[in-house]
Amino acid sequence: MTDEPVEGFAGLGLRAELLSALSTLGYEEPTPIQREAIPPLVEGHDLVGQAATGTGKTAAFALPVLQGLTPGAADDAGPQALVLVPTRELAEQVSQAVHRYGRELGVRVLPVYGGQPIGRQLQALRRGVDVVVGTPGRVLDHIERETLRLGDVRTVVLDEADEMLDMGFAEDIEAILAETPATRQTVLFSATMPPRIDSIARRHLNDPVRITMGRKAVSPDELPLIRQSAYLVARPHRTAALGRILDVEAPAAAIVFCRTREEVDQVTEALNGRGYRAEALHGGMSQDQRDRVMGRLRGGSTELLVATDVAARGLDVEQLTHVINYNVPAAPEAYVHRIGRVGRAGREGCAITLAEPREQRMLKAIERLTGQRITLEKLPTVTDLRARRLELTRAALQSSLETDDLERYRVVLDSLTGEFDVEDIALAAVRLLHEAAGGDADEKEIPSPEPPAERPGRAGRAAPGKARGSQSGVTRLFFGIGRQAGLRPQDLVGAIAGESGLSAREIGAIQITDRFSLVEVPESAADTVIMAMRRSTIRGRRPTVRRERFTPR
């Protein structure tokens, strides 16, 4: 495995320490949002970007921030960059990302959010930090205590701006921006662009570059006719889920797409550990090495390829039956490109995508682009898996009975029939075969994804243990109104039932926090409720109503 330079990123004008960090992380190519956003940000422009989670937007703003940083500037100076995010999970994630990308620069980054003991934050702030990643409430708190000075900030990033507004952080954001120098660079990312976001951009950004990952629809004949499905699975269970799906699907030849080389190596190892003949294919390999791997796939001695997009470029294998996305590709176009590798010439094909709950929006974007449905499936249970393995054992026996010459084994059978019943002997043979093929390896159930445990102001979660998400037919809706507006559960039930025609019985768990509320409704009625609520008011207000977006970790 050679360590080629990260050409794609080098072309974006990033400094050597960052390129080297990206190479270590196994990033081979910038994602579309990174390709478009990094150069103008490095040049110092303001920017408004429409991009959802999973597109690589964190690196799109974090790399330019790191590019312009003077690490370890005077200890008494304030941070040089401030990233505002809506939730504590995101504060942790973004802060970790900045730390990973900036490792070789020795960057000091601090996540700052409510619910965390303030003492630790104070200590770190006193010692000096280069980048602060925080939720607006807690950042403002520090400004008011005069423990955070923003006079040296060169770049402010508003990440997931629509979420922050929905959570009622608009005023906090204004107050924070007022503390930063007017000459700062301002970057705003948002999954959606409602007028309120536009208004913030107009008031606080200076002639920003605008990036929309706008997409033209794909014409139907560019798409193969294949089965497309997706599984929602939380990150820690992804490898186990992949193994289980492969066990049930039993593909003749499949390619598993990963984002990074690191991931390719890790997945290959896990699959080999599970008894598959899997081979890694990534951009760091020479053409010769790749050709050999491809030869083994064509010859049938390898059944699974695990690859990055770059490595799979130009790959053409007739036998492929399955394309599996280990995570949602960063751009819908990449999805179309990947699945184009199966279902050629009318052959059977199948595209399977593993998605974290927070990446569901990306699945929707792909559906819009292709005009085809991606069916959400339930992960196979341990019972499904056992049944499937028994079926495979049965099929193997049937095939052997039909095609093999079994005479040479008769001597074994004859020596046993004196003592044992023939049926019992057959059962013992089945058991041995079954176990040799992996049998009922001890498997635990993989839990369905849980909603995030915390958000600022959220007190626990409603209806613990109750299945939710479109798989179970129940959807949680977010209402941007809460206790502070005097909201009570009966207001929500009254408004929903009155406006959408849903009966009160069909409304599930309701959770009201200070600033927002979550309400469970049947998935089939979710759109009707959302549309109806847009036309009406609750306690004299017209709050945001939309599907709840999970951001679990």
| Cβ at position 542, least distance to ligand AMP in Å | 31
Nearer Cβ to ligand AMP (28/520)? 28
Task: List interacting residues with ligand AMP (CB under 6 A).
Answer: 27, 29-31, 34, 53-59, 259-260
| Cβ at position 402, least distance to ligand AMP in Å | 47
Helix H or strand E encompassing 542: none
Nearer Cβ to ligand AMP (51/538)? 51
With beta carbons less than 8 A apart as the criterion, state whether 170 and 92 touch: no
What does the alpha-carbon distance between residue 253 and residue 318 come to, in Å, rounded to a whole number? 9
| Cβ at position 6, least distance to ligand AMP in Å | 9
Output the CA–CA distances (angstroms, integers) from residue 244 to 1, 134, 255, 391, 395, in the order listed. 29, 38, 16, 15, 19
With beta carbons less than 8 A apart as the criterion, state whether 189 and 51 touch: yes
Phi and psi of 474, rounded to 5°? Answer: -120, 135
| Cβ at position 51, least distance to ligand AMP in Å | 7
Structure tokens at 236: 């820690």
The SS3 of residue 221 is: helix
278: β partners:
304
Nearer Cβ to ligand AMP (313/542)? 313
With beta carbons less than 8 A apart as the criterion, state whether 291 and 316 touch: no
Nearer Cβ to ligand AMP (354/507)? 354
| Cβ at position 29, least distance to ligand AMP in Å | 6
Phi and psi of 54, rounded to 5°? Answer: 100, -5
Nearer Cβ to ligand AMP (59/526)? 59
In which residue are the tokens 């001890």 written? Answer: 442
Nearer Cβ to ligand AMP (88/515)? 88
In which residue are the tokens 């660079």 written? Answer: 185
What does the alpha-carbon distance between residue 230 and residue 264 come to, in Å, rounded to a whole number? 20
| Angle between helices 489-500 and 523-534 in degrees, nearest 10 | 90
| Cβ at position 267, least distance to ligand AMP in Å | 14
| Cβ at position 25, least distance to ligand AMP in Å | 7
| Cβ at position 208, least distance to ligand AMP in Å | 20
| Cβ at position 248, least distance to ligand AMP in Å | 26
The beta-strand segments (E) located in 99-159 are 109-112, 131-134, 155-158
Nearer Cβ to ligand AMP (57/434)? 57
What does the alpha-carbon distance between residue 392 and residue 170 come to, in Å, rounded to a whole number? 58
Helix H or strand E encompassing 139: helix 136-144
Nearer Cβ to ligand AMP (20/528)? 20
With beta carbons less than 8 A apart as the criterion, state whether 551 and 518 touch: no
383: β partners:
none
476: β partners:
520
Nearer Cβ to ligand AMP (56/114)? 56
